[in-house]
Structure 1
Amino acid sequence: MYPVISMSHEVEQKLEGVQVYAINLDLDPLDEDNSQVSYEKDWHALHEVWQGKTKAEVVQTERITAYRNFYKLLGFNTKKTLPSVQNLIQRFLMKEKLDRIPVIHPIVDAVNIAAVKTLIPLGVFDANCVEGEISLTLSRGGETFQPLGYKEPEELAADVLVLADDQKVLSQFCYRDSEAQKIRERTRSIWLLGCQVPCVSNEAVYQALDEAQEQLKRVYKLTKR
């Protein structure tokens, strides 16, 4: 059982059947520079699963369909904006040859492996950036938000689904993370999140979060806060 992220009343009404489960973990590296850990074999194993599949076959996968429907509920065009797991599969794993591996950071890599293995989108961010409590809410409009990889902040429109703490927007939920909460080289405390949507059981999300922790244990000793 994992704690549930609180939602505003408006979000609860809009997203019936949706829950976001989370766990706050402290990380102690098993090897200070993480040089002994590689997820290359894991990506090659996943490539064997998806190699040669068509986009239609990926889209028709039951869990990917469920998260595409969730994206449609949020107002996204799923031909242009793909759920994260579908995006990873189509960008890297469908080709005949795995010519590029999405290596980012051991924390992000571990969570991405777990997400693709379980077909459950997972989120992870630096817990030290959080001020107060985390919740899912709708933007009022005009909040400052600097998307990951952007040099300058922008202002959000009203009624955008966001993950926020008491002081700031952390992400446009399931769409864009922020510079404020990104995983950094010295990140040692994280929030790990999994989103349950209609047609996906809470047990499936629990299993995905469990799998992410097993992958992280290859690099870190984990302590639950």
Structure 2
Amino acid sequence: MGSASTRFHFDAALRQRGLTGAYSLLIGLDQTRADSAAIAAHVDQVVRQVRAGPSGEAGPSAPVLAGYRALHQAFAVPTRKLVSAPETLLRFVEKRGDIPRILPLVDLYNAVSLETGLALGAHDLGRIEGDVSLRLTTGTERYQPVGSPAPEPVRAGEYGYIDDANEVLCRLEVRQVEKTKVTAATTDLFLIVQGNPATSAAQVIAGHDRLLALLRQHFGGTLIPLHRPD
């Protein structure tokens, strides 16, 4: 199982094709210490700001979201069925006026994703086997999305986050999985802050640092950096 010694491997060919991101472990966080009302109030404020501002192609995150769509096209991903997680969040707010409320920890990183347009993910490190690699899929990987009762096929030639047991942890930056979903009992995290060719290293690093500052403020924990963009 994953631990503080877990490593992250970033396929060089994917980096050359425009994938970028900042990745870390957060060890020993305590979800019971958090002020759920304070986190909910913070998320409410972010949602209000997004609703009050321009949306769609006029919104501040529009270039970032367009970058994910362009990235999907470059990898021949079906763009109508597989939409980046931050764009899905924004559409949810535009349609329903809020983001899905899951757990304070999940709500917090979703709020940062909504603010920045970046694709964020948190995975229960204790459920990860070995190291994590961001690489092309071969189609042989096991993939069971969050909420799915059984594994589903994954296409060869996509990029994904995959552990040493050949299990997909996140398909593209679109869908996380049952295996490593965060629960109220999670104490150690593998964190993803992924950009695309439209995002600068400074944007990605700022999003990562914003996320980590909020997580450590509310839940504590020890940060172990794995990768930051050049």
TM-score range, shorter chain: 0.7 to 0.9
Distance, in Å, in 2 between the alignment partners of 1:148 and 1:186 is: 17
Say if 2:123 and 2:182, in contact at 8 Å, map to a contact too: yes
Evaluate the alpha carbon distance shift between residue 114 and residue 48 of structure 1 in structure 2; reply closer, same or farther with a 3 A threshold. closer
1:7, 1:80 → 2: CA distance? 26
SS of alignment partner, residue 21 of structure 1: strand
Q: Is the contact between residue 128 and residue 163 of structure 2 (CA under 8 Å) also seen in structure 1?
A: yes
Partners of 2:223 and 2:60 in 1: CA distance: 35
Partners of 2:31 and 2:136 in 1: CA distance: 39
Q: Deviations over 1:91-131 (max 9, x none)?
A: 11x35x83x44211122111111111122111111111122
Letter in 2 for 1:61: A
Q: Give the corresponding residue for 1:193.
A: 192
SS in 2 for 1:192: strand
State whether structure 2 residue 123 is matched by structure 1 residue 125: yes
Structure 1 139/62 Cα, relative in aligned 2: closer, same or farther at 3 Å? closer
Contact 1:31 1:219 in 2 (8 A): no
Q: Which runs of 4+ in 1 moved over 4 A?
A: 32-36
Number of residue pairs matched by the alignment: 217
CA offset at residue 160 of structure 1? 3.0
- What are the Cα deviations for residues 34-55 of structure 1, in whole angstroms up to 9, with x where unaligned? 5444324433443333347453
For 2:32 and 2:213, how far apart are their aligned partners in 1? 16
Stretch moving more, 106-115 or 133-142: 133-142
Unaligned runs of 5+ in 1: none
Bigger CA drift: 19-28 or 180-189? 19-28
Which is helix-richer, 1 or 2?
A: 2
Letter in 2 for 1:28: L
Letter in 2 for 1:125: H
Deviations 1:184-220 (A, max 9, x none): 1200000111123212111111110111122213420
Q: Which amino acid aligns with 1:186?
A: A
Q: Give the match for residue 49 of structure 1.
A: 50
Following the alignment from structure 2 to structure 1, what is the Cα–Cα distance between the partners of residues 131 and 165?
9
Distance, in Å, in 1 between the alignment partners of 2:196 and 2:181 is: 24
The Cα of 1:77 is off from its aligned counterpart by: 4.0
1:223 equivalenced with 2:226 (yes/no): no
Tell me: CA distance 1:70–1:183, structure 2 relative to 1, closer, same or farther (3 Å).
same
Structure 2 residue 35 is matched with structure 1 residue 6:
no
What CA distance in whole angstroms lies between the structure 1 residues aligned with 2:151 and 2:212? 32
Task: Give TM-score, length-normalised by structure 2.
Answer: 0.80
Name the TM-score, length of structure 1 as normaliser.
0.82
The corresponding residue for 2:149 is 151
Q: Which moved more, 1:154-163 or 1:167-176?
A: 154-163
CA RMSD of aligned residues (A): 2.7
Say which structure, 1 or 2, has more relative contact order (CA 8 Å, 6+ apart).
Answer: 2
Answering whether residue 73 of structure 2 is matched by residue 86 of structure 1, we say: no
Aligned-partner SS, 2:76: coil
Sequence identity, in percent? 23
Q: Residue 179 of structure 1 corresponds to which residue in structure 2?
A: 178
Asked whether the 8 Å contact 2:26–2:222 carries over to 1, the reply is yes
Match of 1:206 in 2: 205
Instruction: Check whether the contact 1:125–1:191 (CA below 8 A) recurs between aligned residues.
Output: yes
- Alpha-carbon distance in structure 1 between the residues aligned to 2:137 and 2:61: 32
